[in-house]
Amino acid sequence: MISLTRTSLRLCNSINVRLQSTLVFAEHDNKKLNPITLNAITAASQIGGDVTCLVAGSSCAEVAAEVAKAVGVSKVLLADSADLEGFLPERLTPIILASQKQFNFTHVIAGATALGKSLMPRVAAKLDVAPVNDIIAVQSADTFVRTIYAGNALQTVKSSDPVKVISVRGTSFEASSAEGGSAATESLPLPQLDTTQSKFLGQQLSKSERPELSSAKNVVSGGRGLKSGENFELLYKLADKLNAAVGASRAAVDAGYVPNDMQVGQTGKIVAPELYIAVGISGAIQHLAGMKDSKTIVAINKDPEAPIFQVADFGLVADLFKAVPELTEKL
Amino acid sequence: MSMKILVGCKRVIDYAVKIRVRPDKMGVVTEGVKHSMNPFDEIAVEEAIRMKEAKKASEVIAVRCYSTIQQETLRTALAMGADRAIHVEVPAKDCENLGPAQVSKVLAALARREGASLVLLGKQAIDDDSNATAQMTAAHLDWPQATYASKVSSCDGKLTVTREVDGGLETVEVSLPAVVSADLRLNEPRYATLPNIMKAKKKKLDKLSLGDVGVELRQHLAVVAVSDPPTRQAGVTVDSVDSLIEALRHAGRI
């Protein structure tokens, strides 16, 4: 009797799993896939059911071919139009809605990037559902875990909406393998796009040879203690030795030492590298929110009372202007 | 130009407070804890006032929805320079479930009712960290959105907005009416001076019910649990760069 119940339970589960189908919004720059999409595909696989990827952009066929090779993807939808230059949410939303209408996805997912977080809530509102942003775990097809209060509490939420619209914290999910899949690609008929409401005028991206901050294995970050933009050179040298990305606290960004896209924290980037070296950073709640899931945290600060030492695995109370060059030298 | 701006003001636990999870694991302790206006909303209020000072806007209306108590957030916005305020009263029982899905509907309805051409909101509230209300309000109104703004300039019924995105900055142009969400670097909010705080007490603060704005709230998400994040093991203090390198080698990090 017990075994019978178990079998029927398992049957129910597999039926349930088969009923799920997820649309993953692939983020890219028309040339290359943003790696966070692979983390989103993993989250989609945890929900179960078919995973379809939507590649929308202008002249982005290469990206569709790249996504089609990712493990776990069963179909790729391609929406290619010059109107999608700049990835404006006003134009992407009708495309996502059109694919949702055609295929009845139960879940729509994107990486929790600036684009994903800007787009998913707009899609959710159009579907009259509540979005769930920046999830760190999938508990079941309708229950997700996310952080609140700058990462100081974990909130488990259950959605009663017919379609779950979600953005996924990249560092909380392994990347799905980029090679080994062979999904078919089909073109999505484009809905009417309103091109009068918004216009993409251009971008000023920070150029760097170093690894990308959100996905780097090692990160070296500087704060107000660096005292000037020129002094960040010390961190760049250390970062180069470690093949690390360079981040910053809000204080360093506000003081103009480095551009805002280097900010790590509640309202900047969330990172979880293997090694995070915080230099001249006091460790405000808002900064810790962005890095406290790092595997190993090192703090170099001359103030032994700095809160950063409470989360650091290895703390060195020292003048960074002496300790950092010495560390770079000896590595 | 007679542009009315609607700004959202959420009352949240002050950013400097170390929060505590409730013993029943269903939320965080809010009683007796210092609250203040969501920092991103302060930036939105400041930007709206600057637009009025630059004669780009005619009126700034501060809005908040919650149960009746505590109007100080709206009074703060009025003291900063907002012209009037609207408090949308939400029945206490619905406040537990009040999130971006519900608030965006109220804001959209109010924007229509007040004939606003711009809704300015903070990019996220520092309590639920949802980062969704502006986007959802824009969707309900079918207006364009410019999220994470670090610079806004207006000209001929259009806004040019510099946005903070992952790789740097990008610039978009949106036609009015529009919804804009403020990022940290949009401006530095002013402090309300004592005379302005006194004057704010005389400014108009309307109370509306959900029925007045014609919105019915529905529950979408239920909180199953709230818990403490895993705590990190206590670390060690090393006394020199050499012992730091030694420790990192031992941990296999270098």
In a domain, A277, yes or no: yes
Whole-angstrom Cα distance, residue B118 to residue B6?
Answer: 6
Element spanning B221, H or E: strand B221-227
Instruction: Determine if residue A285 is labeled as part of a ligand binding site.
Output: yes
User: B141-152 pLDDT, tens per residue?
Assistant: 999 999 999 999
Amino acid at A119: L
Average pLDDT score over chain B:
96
For A219-237, what is the mean pLDDT?
98
My answer on whether A233 and A177 are in the same domain is no
A32 and A174 both lie in a single domain: yes
Q: How many domains does chain A have?
A: 2
CATH number at residue A274: 3.40.50.1220
Chain B positions in Cβ-Cβ contact with residue A317 (cut-off 8 Å): 237
Same domain for A151 and A78: yes
pLDDT in tens, A24-51: 999 999 999 999 999 999 999 999 999 9
Whether residues A218 and A170 fall in one domain: no
Confidence of residue A14 (pLDDT cuts 50, 70, 90): very low
The pLDDT score that the predictor gives to residue A183 is: 97
Instruction: Provide the β-strand partners of residue B225.
Output: A156
Average pLDDT, chain A: 94
Angstroms from A162 CA to nearest CA on chain B: 10
Query: Of A22-36, A286-300, B20-34, B59-73, where does mean pLDDT reach its minimum?
Result: B59-73
Q: Is A292 an 8 Å CB contact of chain B? A: yes
The predicted model gives A97-111 an average pLDDT of 97
Collapsing DSSP to helix, strand or coil, B173 comes out as strand
Same domain, A280 and A180: no
A223 and A270 within one domain: yes
Q: What is the mean pLDDT of residues B48-72?
A: 93
Co-location of A303 and A171 in the same domain: no
| A183 and A225 share one domain | no
User: Rounded to 5 degrees, what are φ and ψ at A188?
Assistant: -95, 130
Look at residue A1 in the predicted model and tell me its pLDDT.
41
Percent of chain A with pLDDT over 70: 95
Predicted pLDDT of residue B2:
77
- pLDDT tens track for A286-307: 999 999 999 999 999 999 999 9
User: Residue A8: pLDDT band by 50, 70, 90 thresholds?
Assistant: very low
CATH class held by domain B4-226 = alpha beta
Among partner residues B100, B127, B168, which is closest to A206 by beta-carbon distance?
Answer: B168
Write out residues 177-206 of B within 8 Å (CB-CB) of A.
183-185
Q: Is residue A53 part of a domain?
A: yes
Q: Which residue of B has its CA nearest to A161?
A: B220
Does residue B223 sit at the A interface (CB-CB below 8 Å)? yes
- Interchain contact, A318 vs B248, CB within 8 Å: no
Helical ranges in chain B per DSSP H: 39-53, 72-80, 92-95, 100-114, 133-141, 194-200, 210-213, 241-250
Q: Strand A107-111 and strand A21-25: pairing?
A: parallel
pLDDT greater than 90 at residue A10: no
Rounded to whole angstroms, the Cα distance separating A278 from A18 reads 46
Q: What is the mean pLDDT of residues B100-125?
A: 98
- SS3 string, chain A, reads CHHHHHHHHHHHHHHHHHHCEEEEECCECCCCECCHHHHHHHHHHHHCCEEEEEEEECCCHHHHHHHHCCCCCCEEEEEECHHHCCCCHHHHHHHHHHHHHHHCCCEEEEECCHHHHHHHHHHHHHCCCCEEEEEEEEEECCEEEEEECCCCEEEEEEECCCCEEEEECHHHCCCCCCCCCCCEEEECCCCCCCCCCEEEEEEEECCCCCCCHHHCCEEEEECHHHCCCCCHHHHHHHHHHHCCEEEECHHHHHCCCCCHHHEECCCCECCCCCEEEEECCCCCHHHHCCCCCCCEEEEEECCCCCHHHHCCCEEEECCHHHHHHHHHHHC
CB contact under 8 A, A311 and B232: yes
**A314 lies in some domain:** yes
Q: What is the pLDDT of residue A18?
A: 53
Q: Measuring CA to CA, which residue among A325, A327, A300, A297 is closest to residue A311?
A: A297
Q: State whether residue A157 sits within 8 Å of chain B by CB.
A: yes
Would residue A131 count as lying in a domain? yes
Examine residue A307 and state whether it is found in any structural domain, yes or no.
yes
Of A171, A187, A203, the domain-final residue: A187
Shared domain check, A265 and A167: no
Residue B104 has pLDDT above 70, yes or no: yes
Is the bond preceding residue B177 a cis peptide, omega within 30 degrees?
yes
Distance from the B194 Cα atom to the nearest Cα atom in chain A, whole angstroms? 28
Q: Assess whether A162 and A254 both reside in one domain.
A: no
Who among A122, A309, A331 is closest to B139 (CB)?
Answer: A122
Q: CA A228 → CA A264, B83, B158, distances in Å?
A: 18, 41, 37
% of chain B exceeding 70 in pLDDT: 100
A317 and B CB contact within 8 Å: yes
Please tell me if residue A142 touches chain B, with a CB cutoff of 8 Å.
no
State the CATH number of the domain containing residue A81.
3.40.50.620
A29 and A142 part of one domain: yes
Final residue before a domain boundary, out of A148, A171, A187: A187
Domain that includes residue A113, residue range: 18-187
Q: Is A204 annotated as a binding residue?
A: no
pLDDT one-digit tens code per residue, A155-200: 999 999 999 999 999 999 999 999 999 999 999 999 999 999 999 9
| Pairwise CA distance, residues B52 & B56, whole Å | 5
Question: Model confidence at A12, in pLDDT bands (50, 70, 90)?
Answer: very low
Same domain, A83 and A166: yes
Nearest CA to CA, how far is B200 from chain A (Å)? 30
A263 assigned to some structural domain: yes
Contact between B54 and B153 (Cβ < 8 Å): no
Among B40, B232, B241, beta carbon nearest to A323: B241
Contacts of B21 in chain A (CB under 8 A): 153
SS3 of residue B7 by DSSP: strand
